[in-house]
Amino acid sequence: MNPFSFENDAAADAKPPAEAASFPAGPPGIEPRTIGAVHWLGLWTLYRKEIQRFAKVVTQSVLAPIVTTLLFLSVFSLAMGDVVREVGGVPFVEFLAPGLVMMAIVQSAFQNTAGSLLISKIQGNIVDVLMSPLSPGELALAYAAAGATRGLMVGAVTLGAMAVFVPMQIHAPFTILFFAVMASAMLSLLGLIGGIRSDKFEQMAAVTNFVITPAAFLSGTFYSIERLPGVLNDLAHLNPFFFMIDGFRSGFIGRADGDTLAGGIALLILNVALWLVCLQMFRTGYKLKS
């Protein structure tokens, strides 16, 4: 038989293939873990890791904002208490307190996600997170949820400390909760975007000092925007921080400077847009994989 003939090739092809290699089975009674549409275990693990990260420095992450907020309350109460006794028929300190609580919420939520992402990038351990079997949506959700949790936690503790010095009345608990959640989610997502975009702490500090803090201070935290003239009043109504603070405050004092329904819808739409941006950043690995 000619070893170079096509008949030999056909005969070889006709032979049954060798059996696939078999691997030893795992320990009896232990089945491999299956991952469904959502990797709940991985999602919970990353979320818990982020919670434990700021819980280890609770003095800095939770107690420090409370002290800062109480200092703001005392300074503005002493400085303006004799000049402005009421705002819209509400005692000044009762008008001021909810705005200060909201400031503590948004700053804490922003710092949590921004700091976590930036530190992970600088230390190089962000690669470990990206290599985990978590989808971009799960990664973004875990980070954002942890940041929002810190913001809400700081807000709740600050509110409790504030109630010792200010008679806090609750007119609409659902409104308070809704705007607190929307605000903490929004700043958590903004912190996520800022942490991914930044390469140095100086860049993150610039965002905080020139964007977050001015927007919070100029949103009616310490005054009613009804006192602003024409154009400035219109511009204040375009500030998302105004929606947060005005809606949150209305749940305590029973009145608002703007339309709380429109503000709530605007915050919801803005959060969806920010979520899509974060999702795209994780999908493409923007400034994460390079």
Q: Is residue 172 part of a domain?
A: yes
Question: Mean pLDDT over all residues of the chain?
Answer: 84
Please tell me the least confidently modeled range out of 1-10, 112-121, 138-147, 200-209.
Answer: 1-10
Residue 289 pLDDT > 90:
no
- Side-chain-side CA neighbours of 179 within 13 Å: the count stands at 29
* C-alpha torsion angle, residues 267, 271, 273, 275 (rounded to 10): 180
CA dist., res. 102 & res. 149, Å (int): 14
3-state secondary structure of 91: strand
pLDDT score of 89: 79
Residue-level pLDDT at 255 = 87
Residue spans of alpha helices (H) in the chain: 6-14, 40-55, 58, 64-80, 92-123, 126-130, 136-163, 173-197, 201-207, 213-217, 230-236, 240-253, 260-284
pLDDT of residue 153: 94
Of 12-21, 39-48, 116-125, 184-193, the one with minimum mean pLDDT is: 12-21
Residue 39 in any domain: the answer is no
Q: pLDDT digits over 200-218, tens only?
A: 888 888 888 888 888 887 7
Per-residue pLDDT at 10: 44
pLDDT at 4: 40
Which of 223, 241, 265 is closest to 80 using CA atoms?
A: 223
- Residue 110 CA to residue 186 CA, distance in Å, equals 9
Q: 166 lies in a domain?
A: yes
Residue 143, pLDDT > 60, answer yes
Assigned domain for 185 exists = yes
Q: CA 232, 235, 236, 237: dihedral to nearest 10 degrees?
A: 130
In a domain, residue 51? The reply is no
Q: Sign (positive/negative) of CA torsion 287, 37, 146, 171?
A: positive
The more confident residue out of 14 and 261 is: 261
Instruction: Evaluate whether residue 109 is within a structural domain.
Output: yes
pLDDT for res 81: 58
Number of domains in the chain: 1
Is pLDDT above 50 for 268?
yes
User: Does some domain include residue 258?
Assistant: yes
Of residues 280 and 23, the one with the higher pLDDT is: 280
CA dihedral 148→236→223→213, nearest 10 degrees, is 50
Q: Residue 25: pLDDT band by 50, 70, 90 thresholds? A: low
* pLDDT tens per residue across span 35-44: 667 888 989 9
Question: 117: pLDDT confidence band, cut at 50, 70 and 90?
Answer: very high
CA proximity to 135, closest of 251, 33, 43, 20: 43
Residue in the structure block whose two tokens are 């809400």: 152
Q: Is the pLDDT of residue 2 over 60?
A: no
Distance (Å, whole) CA 125 – CA 63: 28
Q: Which amino acid is at 55?
A: A
Q: What's the domain range around 252?
A: 57-284
According to DSSP, the β-strands at 86-87 and 90-91 are antiparallel
Q: Does the residue 27 lie in any domain?
A: no
